[in-house]
């Protein structure tokens, strides 16, 4: 579900795009908001791209008109980029053209005295005012930017992303763009041929030490940089990919702090508070109990039909992977509850009365459960519906249950290639035996007391 840049007002979808602070004065507002004139979410996802492209172009043009809103150094480099566009179409121009324009811009920005110092300060007999090295470097960058034969990282980045958009999803392209801009911001907008392995290593090492990024995050950034330089190598811009071998020389990323983890299992005290808090909400109570004693996902529980019961087992018939489609023994504590649900439901679904949103029966009940967690003071993202699943797997592990059994029950892909290829799976009897050993103390008694009359 890609609802990014979309806003719903009443029943109509709008596209919404934030305007960078630096150019908000030009447009006189903080964001673009435009009606897509449709009530259909899928259609809105397609229509938004036309407007997003238009907004990006408008903002790009506005940034070029910023003038004094950008730093003087940036304005000088912008002038170099403007010259580049001209030079690419007029290759016969003399080099003095670039010098005349850039020196004129230099004087306009800092005044004649500073411009004179920048242009003449390198002479050994110069006795004038010394200027900050940053201005000198900006002029060098502007000259490089004006040269069509110089492959600036920012320009190569744009070409790379343009190619990637043909085959990758919007989210993936946005992530690659963000990581590339992060590297360019650290290294500088220099010629792509100047990037060496040590530069990439230093960049990633700083992220690990300063930001304490986890291994998966670093691997993601590393992968995005590698794909960019692979493209550059294949395009003949560079001879070797500077990212190759970097993973072997950077520090080992630290694990995330316990405070950063998501979907943690509830403590026993939290489980008691939860079930006490929802005791007068039969539907929430039932869904929570099934999740805790089966490890099932919210959408799997809400999608269960009466026809999905077979020999005291739940049948999960849809999922993201092949492992998600499975047969789960019903815990002995849940059997009376499930029987009551079956007998009381007058429709095809096992749990009736759930309001759907775009055929998703878990949408609204998920929002209600989020509100209940907030009322109890459970930390957002750290404790979620998925925490029931974490409790289930944690307790199964504490009981010494074989990992293959737990993975089969919760629908996780087995990491053992031999098992995946040659095994037909864990027998349902072994799953049932392992599952029925599971206990959550006082919560067991509470689930046994559920009154089906109110379901």
Please, what is the Cα angle at 355 between 350 and 358, to 5 degrees?
Answer: 105
Average per-residue pLDDT in the chain? 81
Listed by start position, the domains of the chain span: 6-67, 71-146, 153-259, 268-454
More reliable by pLDDT, 17 or 97:
17
**29-57 mean pLDDT:** 84
pLDDT by residue (tens digit) across 358-384?
778 888 899 999 999 999 999 877 889
Task: Tokens for 11, please give them.
Answer: 């029943």
- What's the pLDDT score for residue 418? 36
Task: Tokens for 51, please give them.
Answer: 């407007």
pLDDT by residue (tens digit) across 121-161?
766 666 667 767 788 888 887 887 777 778 889 888 988 89
**397-414 mean pLDDT:** 84
Best CA proximity match to 64, nearest among 81, 85, 50, 51 = 81
For residue 453, is pLDDT > 50? no
Best CA proximity match to 32, nearest among 10, 12, 7, 9 = 7
Res. 64 pLDDT band, cuts 50 70 90: low
User: CA separation (Å) from 400 to 214, 333, 403?
Assistant: 29, 20, 9
More reliable by pLDDT, 59 or 201:
201
- What's the pLDDT score for residue 423? 37
The top-scoring range by mean pLDDT among 76-90, 161-175, 181-195 is 181-195
Res. 422 pLDDT band, cuts 50 70 90: very low
| Pairing status of strand 326-329 against strand 31-35 | unpaired
Instruction: Check if CATH label 1.10.443.10 holds for domain 268-454.
Output: yes
| Pairing status of strand 326-329 against strand 313-316 | antiparallel
- What's the pLDDT score for residue 233? 86
- What's the pLDDT score for residue 444? 87
CB atoms within 10 A of CB 114: 19
Best CA proximity match to 105, nearest among 94, 120, 118, 93 = 118
Res. 416 pLDDT band, cuts 50 70 90: very low
Q: How far is CA 414 from the centre of its chain?
A: 25
For residue 455, is pLDDT > 50? no
**24-43 mean pLDDT:** 80
Say if residues 177 and 157 touch (Cβ distance below 8 Å): yes
What's phi and psi for 272, nearest 5 deg?
A: -65, -45
For residue 96, is pLDDT > 80? no
- What's the pLDDT score for residue 414? 54
User: CA separation (Å) from 274 to 18, 131, 144, 364?
Assistant: 38, 66, 63, 18
**90-116 mean pLDDT:** 76
**48-54 mean pLDDT:** 80
- What's the pLDDT score for residue 420? 39
Helix (H, G, I), strand (E, B) or coil at 17: strand
For residue 417, is pLDDT > 50? no
**Separation CA 98–CA 325 (nearest Å):** 65
pLDDT by residue (tens digit) across 171-192?
788 889 989 998 998 888 888 9
**82-93 mean pLDDT:** 65
Q: Name the CATH topology of 153-259.
A: DNA polymerase; domain 1 (1.10.150)
Report the share of the chain in percent with pLDDT over 70: 82
- What's the pLDDT score for residue 68? 47
């Amino acid at each position: 579900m890609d609802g990014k840049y979309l806003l719903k007002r009443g029943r109509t979808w709008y596209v919404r795009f934030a305007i960078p602070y630096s150019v908000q004065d030009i447009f006189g507002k903080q964001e673009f908001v435009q009606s897509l004139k449709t009530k259909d979410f899928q259609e809105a996802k397609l229509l938004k791209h036309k407007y997003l492209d238009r907004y990006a172009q408008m903002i790009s043009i506005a940034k070029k008109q910023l003038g004094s809103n950008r730093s003087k150094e940036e304005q000088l480099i912008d002038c170099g980029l403007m010259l580049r566009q001209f030079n690419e179409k007029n290759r016969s121009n003399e080099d003095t053209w670039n010098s005349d324009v850039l020196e004129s811009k230099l004087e306009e920005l800092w005044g004649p005295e500073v411009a004179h110092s920048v242009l003449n300060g390198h002479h050994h007999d110069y006795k004038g005012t010394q200027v900050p090295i940053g201005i000198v470097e900006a002029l060098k960058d502007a000259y490089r930017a004006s040269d069509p034969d110089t492959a600036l990282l920012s320009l190569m980045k744009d070409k790379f992303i343009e190619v990637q958009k043909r085959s990758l999803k919007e989210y993936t392209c946005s992530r690659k763009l963000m990581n590339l801009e992060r590297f360019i911001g650290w290294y500088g907008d220099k010629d792509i041929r100047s990037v060496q392995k040590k530069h990439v290593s230093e960049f990633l090492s700083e992220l690990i030490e300063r930001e304490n990024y986890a291994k998966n995050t670093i691997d993601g950034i590393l992968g995005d940089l590698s794909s960019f330089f692979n493209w550059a190598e294949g395009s003949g811009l560079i001879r070797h990919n500077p990212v190759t071998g970097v993973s072997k020389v950077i520090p080992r990323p630290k694990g995330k702090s316990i405070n950063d983890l998501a979907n943690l299992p509830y403590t026993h005290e939290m489980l008691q508070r939860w079930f006490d808090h929802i005791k007068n909400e039969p539907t929430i109570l039932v869904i929570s109990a099934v999740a805790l004693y089966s490890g099932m996902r919210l959408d799997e529980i809400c999608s269960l039909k009466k026809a999905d019961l077979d020999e005291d087992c739940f049948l999960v018939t849809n999922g993201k992977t092949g492992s998600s489609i499975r047969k789960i023994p019903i815990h002995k504590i849940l059997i009376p509850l499930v029987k009551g649900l079956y007998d009381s439901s007058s429709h095809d679904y096992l749990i009736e009365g759930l309001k759907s949103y775009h055929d998703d029966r878990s949408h609204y009940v998920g929002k209600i459960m989020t509100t209940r967690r907030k009322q109890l003071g459970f930390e957002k993202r750290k404790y979620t519906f998925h925490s029931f699943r974490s409790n289930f797997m944690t307790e199964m592990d504490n009981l010494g249950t074989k990992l293959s059994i737990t993975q089969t029950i919760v629908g996780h892909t087995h990491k053992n290639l031999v098992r995946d290829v040659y095994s037909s799976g864990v027998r349902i009897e072994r799953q049932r035996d392992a599952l029925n050993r599971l206990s959550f103390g006082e919560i067991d008694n509470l689930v046994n007391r559920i009154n089906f009359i109110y379901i």
